[in-house]
């Protein structure tokens, strides 16, 4: 059999296969070796035998038994922890279910990666690398950092998990309040990378969006809370627009130009209901405020009907709850839509020249406002700066078209 997309299967299943292997094998190093061995075996066997009905289960099983073989050949089998040894030897042990009722393997892995013993920047980098399969370069681009710095954070985090024997488990309910913020933040970042990929040919990485929503739903089942509702609402409302974000050629379509008949009304209804319920339960989390902004966009039948006054007011609330240059940028765009491009540019220009100098969206927003004001030379310079910082092909094609219109 030929023609199957092993790379696509790798992108879709890597995180969950690795999570299950870590549970079975007890650590990152052995599990990552087993993951590589499993996909190598798939590349060798599937063209001949066909893709199995459940590729994930096949990969976990192959990785597990290849790890056993390696340990036996190396003489390490009896040296590993007795409980792991017993689990590996039990060839009749039940394989991971498609979705476990209480403690999904991926959720276990996220809680481990987001353990409070790890620095916050390491938590996020480790989760994006191990759960989502992003490269260090992609993570660095998303965080305006250097790949070498990201790589060091990941290596140190793995070493700390190993040396301090941090548990690979979903914490007890009493621990959730202290552990939840980091997990929610990480799920949010996973979705963002899927919804607006930092590099590559495709603007969307649908498997990451779906995985983030799946994890948010699982969290909500395990631990109902308003801040989880707010995050899930935000993800659903953004996901409702996914089909309209790209044209037939895969090119970027801005919100104002999207065909709103392609928006998913079921996701909008579910997301709006969750957002409004969470907004009524103080203290209101930042994800809930962002969800209310997304719901306001969703209510508008067309771009001209958007309630920019309400959106700007919600950004004022968000800025007080979570002050950051990126929130300031988004607020400035809303003010530009409410009060005109000159008002927005006065707020964006200092951001693009200062704290967001390496943030491509700041320069793209500045360029758009300069273009609307007829300042074409300055707009072209800002578009070029955004292009220098962008590694996303659909995004670059859009910026290049806008730049060509000015020249």
Q: Are 167 and 103 in contact (CB under 8 A)?
A: no
User: Does residue 159 lie in a domain region?
Assistant: no
As a whole-number percent, the residues of the chain with pLDDT over 90 amount to 56
Q: Domain range spanning residue 330?
A: 311-407
> What are the pLDDT digits (tens) for 305-359?
999 999 999 999 999 999 999 999 999 999 999 999 999 999 999 999 999 999 9
Cβ partners under 8 Å of residue 322, min gap 6: 286
Mean pLDDT of the chain, nearest integer: 88
**Domain boundary residue among 57, 89, 121?**
89
**Domain boundary residue among 31, 56, 89?**
89
Torsion of CA 145, 148, 151, 156, to 10 degrees: -100
The encoded tokens of residue 145 equal 């950092």
User: Does residue 141 lie in a domain region?
Assistant: no
Cα–Cα distance measured from residue 383 to residue 381, given in angstroms and rounded to the nearest whole number: 5
Cα–Cα distance measured from residue 311 to residue 294, given in angstroms and rounded to the nearest whole number: 9
User: Does residue 299 lie in a domain region?
Assistant: no
User: Does residue 395 lie in a domain region?
Assistant: yes
> What are the pLDDT digits (tens) for 91-122?
444 444 444 433 478 888 889 999 989 998 89
Assess whether pLDDT exceeds 90 at residue 389: yes
User: Does residue 264 lie in a domain region?
Assistant: no
The encoded tokens of residue 231 equal 């995050």
> What are the pLDDT digits (tens) for 4-26?
788 888 887 888 899 889 888 88
User: Does residue 326 lie in a domain region?
Assistant: yes
Cα–Cα distance measured from residue 173 to residue 111, given in angstroms and rounded to the nearest whole number: 13
User: Does residue 101 lie in a domain region?
Assistant: no
> What are the pLDDT digits (tens) for 287-312?
999 999 999 999 999 999 999 999 99
| pTM across the whole model | 0.77
User: Does residue 345 lie in a domain region?
Assistant: yes
**Domain boundary residue among 39, 66, 89?**
89
Provide the CATH number for the domain around residue 398.
1.25.40.10
> What are the pLDDT digits (tens) for 161-210?
999 999 888 888 788 888 888 899 889 988 998 898 877 778 888 878 98
Overall domain count for the chain: 2
As a whole-number percent, the residues of the chain with pLDDT over 70 amount to 91
């Amino acid at each position: 059999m030929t023609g199957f997309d092993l790379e696509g299967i790798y992108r879709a299943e890597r995180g969950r296969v690795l999570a299950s292997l870590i549970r079975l094998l007890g650590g990152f190093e052995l599990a990552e070796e087993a993951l590589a061995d499993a996909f190598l075996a798939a590349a060798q066997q599937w063209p001949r035998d066909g893709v199995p009905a459940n590729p994930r289960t096949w990969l976990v099983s192959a990785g597990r038994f290849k790890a056993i073989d390696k340990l036996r050949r190396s003489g390490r089998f009896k040296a590993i922890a007795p409980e792991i040894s017993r689990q590996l030897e039990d060839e009749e042990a039940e394989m991971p279910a498609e979705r476990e009722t209480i403690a999904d393997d991926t959720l276990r892995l996220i809680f481990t990666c987001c353990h409070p013993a790890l620095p916050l920047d390491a938590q996020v980098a480790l989760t994006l690398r191990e759960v989502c399969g992003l490269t260090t370069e992609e993570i660095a681009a998303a965080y305006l950092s250097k790949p070498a710095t990201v790589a060091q954070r990941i290596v140190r985090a793995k070493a700390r998990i190993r040396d301090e024997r941090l548990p690979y488990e979903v914490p007890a309910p009493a621990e959730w309040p202290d552990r939840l913020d980091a997990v929610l933040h990480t799920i949010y970042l996973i979705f963002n990378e899927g919804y607006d990929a930092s590099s590559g040919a495709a603007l969307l990485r649908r498997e990451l969006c779906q995985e983030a929503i799946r994890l948010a739903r699982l969290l909500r089942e395990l631990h109902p809370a308003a801040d989880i509702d707010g995050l899930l609402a935000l993800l659903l409302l953004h996901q409702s627009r996914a089909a309209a974000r790209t044209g037939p050629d895969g090119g970027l379509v801005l919100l104002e130009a999207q065909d709103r008949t392609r928006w998913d009304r079921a996701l909008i209804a579910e997301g709006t209901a969750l957002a409004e319920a969470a907004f009524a339960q103080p203290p209101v989390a930042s994800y809930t405020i962002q969800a209310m902004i997304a719901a306001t966009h969703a209510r508008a039948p067309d771009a001209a009907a958007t309630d920019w006054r309400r959106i700007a007011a919600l950004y004022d609330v968000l800025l007080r709850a979570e002050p950051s240059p990126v929130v300031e940028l988004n607020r400035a765009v809303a003010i530009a839509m409410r009060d005109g491009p000159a008002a927005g540019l006065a707020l964006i220009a200092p951001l693009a020249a200062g704290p967001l100098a390496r943030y491509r969206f700041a320069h793209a927003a500045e360029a758009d406002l300069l273009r609307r004001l007829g300042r074409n030379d300055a707009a072209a310079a800002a578009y070029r700066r955004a292009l220098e910082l962008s590694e996303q092909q659909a995004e670059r094609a859009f910026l290049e078209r806008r730049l060509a219109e000015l020249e």
